[in-house]
Amino acid sequence: MIVDDATGTVAEGGVELVPLDLAALNEDELIQLFPTPVQCAGALLKARAMIAHAPAVLAARSKAVKDAKRNLIVARGYARQAAIGRDAETRRLVAESDADVLKAWEAIDVAELALEYAREMRKTLSEDIEILRSLNANFRGEHR
Q: What total number of domains does the chain contain? A: 1
On average, the pLDDT of the chain sits at 86
Per-residue model confidence as pLDDT tens digits over 24-57: 888 888 888 788 888 888 999 999 999 999 999 9
pLDDT at position 17 is: 65
**Band of pLDDT at residue 82, cut at 50, 70 and 90:** confident
In a domain, 29, yes or no: no
In a domain, 16, yes or no: no
In a domain, 93, yes or no: yes
In this structure, the dihedral spanned by the alpha carbons of residues 142, 29, 27 and 44, taken in order and rounded to 10 degrees, is 20
In a domain, 60, yes or no: yes
In degrees and rounded to multiples of 5, residue 10 shows phi and psi of: -110, 125
pLDDT, greater one: 41 or 71: 71
List, in sequence order, the alpha helices (H) in 33-98: 37-52, 54-82, 88-97
In a domain, 15, yes or no: no
pTM of the model: 0.68
* Strand, coil or helix: 143: coil
Closest listed residue to residue 99, CA positions, set 76, 126, 130: 76
Strand pairing of 10-11 and 2-3? antiparallel
CB burial of residue 22 (10 Å; 0-12, 13-18, 19+): exposed
**Full residue range of the structural domain in which residue 81 is found:** 36-142
Highest mean predicted confidence (pLDDT) among 29-38, 99-108, 131-140: 99-108
